[in-house]
Amino acid sequence: MTLGYRPGDGLLHRTHPFTTASLAGAVSVLVFVLPGVLAPWGLVAGLCVLAAVSGLLPVLGTAAAFSAPFWGFLILIHGVFRDDLGTAVVLAGRISAMLTVFLLLLASVHPGRLVDAMLERGAPFGLAYLFGATLQAVPQLQRRAAAILDAQRCRGLRVRGSLVRRARAVIPLAVPLVLGALAEVDERALALEIRGAGSGARRTPLDPPRDGAVGRLVRWFLLAAVTGAVLWRLLS
């Protein structure tokens, strides 16, 4: 189950990073603003179609895996204890929609293209790189965490069992993760400087993100949809 960018050439991959980011933002607002218990699930359905068309079906599996614990928890709290299944369904739908759209964002936006898109709009290199690096951060931490888990298990660390045992396992797993990540940041800063990052020259985009009229139209549409929904909600 890898989070992060999956190389490909589907619909979402060819979409301009700003458009995909706008979609993520729009969905995050709409799930709260649209009325009806099933509205968030309607968005989820739409995202599933988008994922299928873009060749990113595995991402749905990841989203479902991450959402499942929440579904169970919500059904338990709201469905069983408070006898209010409706709330459980809405909340589960919101979580699933936001998780899905952000995972699709991670999977389809090449960090390099995001950086180039931001630089094209005049963003300073440091800021652009920060965004790109953040997209990278999750899969990187995931790989590192897996390596650390391997090392500590080989020293006898037990990770299954009682809550106390699991709590005790956090330190030997978290500390190398954090310290290692920090040390890596230091070294990466050296490497980036040497490789001309922030040199003041205008970076040549290697695979310029194509921004056509369609992309711009979609972004305007999303903005209009969100504004309209918010206004309608406020006024009614």
Site residues (vs other proteins, CB under 8 A): 5, 7, 110-112, 115, 125, 129, 132-133, 136, 140, 143, 147-148, 150-159, 171-176, 179-180, 183-184, 186-197, 199-207
Return the structure tokens found at 94.
């919101």
Residue among 68, 55, 74, 75 nearest 99 (CA)? 68
**Nearer of residues 41 and 125 to other proteins, judged by Cβ:** 125
* Nearer to other proteins (CB atom), residue 83 or residue 207: 207
Closest CA to 5 of 124, 115, 170: 115
Alpha helices in the chain (DSSP H): 11-14, 17-33, 39-53, 57-74, 85-108, 111-120, 125-153, 163-194, 213-235
Q: Between residues 182 and 235, which has the closer beta carbon with respect to other proteins?
A: 182
Q: How far is the CB of 102 from other proteins (least distance, A)?
A: 19
Whichever of 71 and 129 has its CB closer to other proteins, that residue is 129
| Least spacing, CB of residue 62 vs other proteins, in Å | 18
Distances (CA, A) of 89 to 96, 97, 213: 10, 12, 37
What is the nearest approach in angstroms of other proteins to the Cβ of residue 51? 20
**Smallest distance from other proteins to CB 196, Å:** 4
